[in-house]
Amino acid sequence: MPRFHHALTALTLAFAAILPAHAADLRIGLAADVSSLDPHFVNIAPNIALSSHLFESLTSIDPNGKLQPGLATSWKAVDPTTWEFKLRRGVKFHDGSELTADDVIFSLDRPATLTNSPGPFTSYTKPIVAKQVVDRYTVRLKTATPYGPLPLDVNSIFIVSKKAAQNATPEDFNSGKALIGTGPFKFASFKRGEAIELVRNPQYWGEKPAWDKVTFRILTSDAPRLAALLAGDVDAIENVPTADIARLKANPKFVLAQRASWRTLFWQLDQWRDNSPYVTDKAGKPLARNPLKDVRVRQAISKAINRDALVERTLEGLAIPAGNIVSPGILGNAKALKPEAYDPEGAKKLLAAAGYPDGFALTLHGPNNRYINDEQVVQTVAQLLTRVGIQARVETLPLSAYFGKARAGDYSVALLGWGSLAGDFALRSLVGTPNPDTGWGSWNWGRYSNPKVDQLVAASLASVEPQEREKLAEQAATQALKDYAVIPLYHQYASWGLKKGIKFTPRVDEFSFAWQFKPE
């Protein structure tokens, strides 16, 4: 009965078309909300992480923090103030058009046009004083003075399609209209505050991701995020809550992935005032001079802190002690600088030599909702200091109140966590002599100032030769830390939870990219 056969075949085919093909889908639980899909709108980590799936930049960062080719296959300084980038050929945007130098120039110009951004990307585009299209696949970027970190700076600027993004508003991006990039994924849907769906870009020039569809679920609260993983509602989560790490490790159905991240925690100390607001004698009266200005006192404080105990107990093993401001493997991390050994006796001796045999009193300030166990860290350090004679009080605040006051210089000893991919950048902001015109020392709360350090940092930034730059950066760091410009504590761990059957490569910059996850 041929007619029956035909009908049966047609029916079967129809069914096969209706049934979904076996799709490899990934669902990730994010710990912070994505506020906008416009890649140039505001410079916050969750937005950057998401935009990285749809867009790319000239350079890329590998999981260990090292600069790699991106949309540019190579770059070099053709002269001390000119960088030349050669673009990859045959790269297609999501709408099929080809990537050219015009798109690059447009993308580098765009951040400056977004005037209502609270955190614009202009600090990365500012060093570029002139842009030149050499040919369809080559651009030249000129800087005012020799500037080594330019390839790292351009990593922060996503390349958008000039055609699609011209005159596009942030609303156009959030609706998907202008979301035309070159990235491994294409936009599918955006439910603000809830979930973002992406689908694989079949025309992607690079390694095809293992997933047909990726769903990012926004789960900002710790316990529900973990519950979603345990229930199987998501396949992986970032920022496993510290209290549940041991439990997750012990659970055979899940895998815990960890590594030391770029985030380093350290103390900023008031080194510019003669009378520091929160430093007094033990009776509460002001002292003749500010003890924090004496390097021996700063060293004593550093010696008084038992970093191993801090890491083991207060942080439950979720960090490694630090002797540097940037994490191991990052440019500017000097291997020779070891974490300060715990030496309470030595600390007491130094304090006596500096003229404080009975110690003094101070208040430690820090946030209480920003870093892992931040409040407990401040309290532990206070206890350790008290043991060597420095009577320490603790005051912690929510981040929204803390940062403003700390940046205004209200505190004497304040905790800060810093994530950086370049040591010289970090030093410039943290220990460079404050200069409102140049932007140096914008996070140097203690106003530490050492012309030698400034010189080395400037030289490092001006060095367009990578090896030379590394050496100078390390020298600058060594000089600053010998001076105890800041007191490093530890490099924080980042942790991810995954269900068994997924392989994952953790990144030093704490980002969760879909292509780091691969089915086993």
Partner 1 sequence: MSGFMIRRLIQALLVLLTMSALVFVAVFAIGDPLALLVDPQADQHDIARVRRGLGLDQPWWVQYARFLGALVHGDLGRSFVHGEPAIRLVLERMPATLELAVAALLIALLVGVPLGLWVGLQPRSWSARLIDALSLLGFSLPTFWVGMMFIMLFGVWLGWLPTGGRGETTLWLGIPLSIGSLDGWRHLLLPALTLALFKCSLLLRLTASATREALRQDYVRFARARGLHPARIVFVHVFKNILIPIVTVSGLEFGSLIAFAVVTETVFAWPGMGKLLIEAIGQLDRPVVVAYLLVTVTLFVTINLAVDLLYALLDPRVRLRSRS
Give the span between the Cα atoms of 83 and 425, in whole angstroms: 19
Q: Smallest distance, Å, CB 4 to partner 1? A: 36
Helices within 178-323 (DSSP H only) = 222-231, 245-250, 295-304, 307-309
Q: Smallest distance, Å, CB 177 to partner 1? A: 14
Q: Which CA distances in Å does 454 have to 271, 326, 457, 478?
A: 16, 17, 5, 13
Give the span between the Cα atoms of 96 and 490, in whole angstroms: 47
Q: Maximum Cα–Cα distance for the chain, whole Å?
A: 108
For partner 1, give the closer residue by CB, 122 or 433. Answer: 122
Q: Smallest distance, Å, CB 41 to partner 1? A: 5
Q: Smallest distance, Å, CB 49 to partner 1? A: 15
CA 396 to chain centre: 23
CA 1 to chain centre: 68
Residue 243 CB neighbour total at 10 angstroms: 12
For partner 1, give the closer residue by CB, 449 or 505. Answer: 449
Q: Which of residues 189-208 bind partner 1 (CB under 8 A)?
A: 191-195
Per-residue contact string for residues 415-444; x = within reach of partner 1 by CB under 8 A: ---x------x---x------xxxxx-xx-
Q: Which of residues 317-356 bind partner 1 (CB under 8 A)?
A: none
Phi, psi of 260 (to 5 degrees): -70, 130
- Does the footprint of partner 1 cover residue 116 (CB under 8 A)? yes
Give the span between the Cα atoms of 485 and 50, in whole angstroms: 36
Residue that the structure tokens 């409102």 belong to = 436
- Secondary structure of residue 406 in the 3-state scheme: helix
Number of residues that bind partner 1 (CB under 8 A): 60
For partner 1, give the closer residue by CB, 97 or 117. Answer: 117
One-letter amino acid for residue 460 of the chain? S
CA atoms within 13 A on the CB side of 52: 20
Per-residue contact string for residues 33-72; x = within reach of partner 1 by CB under 8 A: x-xx-x--xxxx----------------------------
Q: Which CA distances in Å does 219 have to 33, 114, 191, 222?
A: 8, 29, 13, 8
Q: Which two tokens stand for residue 446?
A: 């203690």
For partner 1, give the closer residue by CB, 336 or 408. Answer: 408
Give the span between the Cα atoms of 306 and 254, in whole angstroms: 33
Q: Which of 28, 67, 99, 219 binds partner 1 (CB under 8 A)?
A: 219
Residue 119 CB neighbour total at 10 angstroms: 11
Q: Smallest distance, Å, CB 219 to partner 1? A: 5
Q: Which of residues 452-511 bind partner 1 (CB under 8 A)?
A: none
Q: Smallest distance, Å, CB 40 to partner 1? A: 10
> Considering Cα of 205, then 209, then 215, then 220, what sign does the dihedral take?
negative
- Does the footprint of partner 1 cover residue 404 (CB under 8 A)? yes
The stretch near partner 1 (CB under 8 A) out of 50-58, 168-176, 275-283, 501-509 is 168-176
Residue 339 CB neighbour total at 10 angstroms: 19
For partner 1, give the closer residue by CB, 349 or 447. Answer: 447
Residue 500 CB neighbour total at 10 angstroms: 10
Per-residue contact string for residues 361-400; x = within reach of partner 1 by CB under 8 A: --------x----------------------------xxx
Q: Smallest distance, Å, CB 442 to partner 1? A: 6
Q: Which of 75, 124, 211, 493 binds partner 1 (CB under 8 A)?
A: 124
Give the span between the Cα atoms of 275 and 290, in whole angstroms: 6
For partner 1, give the closer residue by CB, 43 or 258. Answer: 43
For partner 1, give the closer residue by CB, 218 or 481. Answer: 218
The stretch near partner 1 (CB under 8 A) out of 110-118, 158-166, 245-253, 383-391 is 110-118
- Beta-bridge mates of residue 254: 499
The stretch near partner 1 (CB under 8 A) out of 167-175, 296-304, 378-386, 505-513 is 167-175
User: Which residues of the shown chain bind partner 1 in the complex (CB under 8 A)?
Assistant: 33, 35-36, 38, 41-44, 115-124, 126, 170-171, 174, 191-195, 217-221, 223-224, 227-228, 230-233, 369, 398-405, 407, 418, 425, 429, 436-440, 442-443
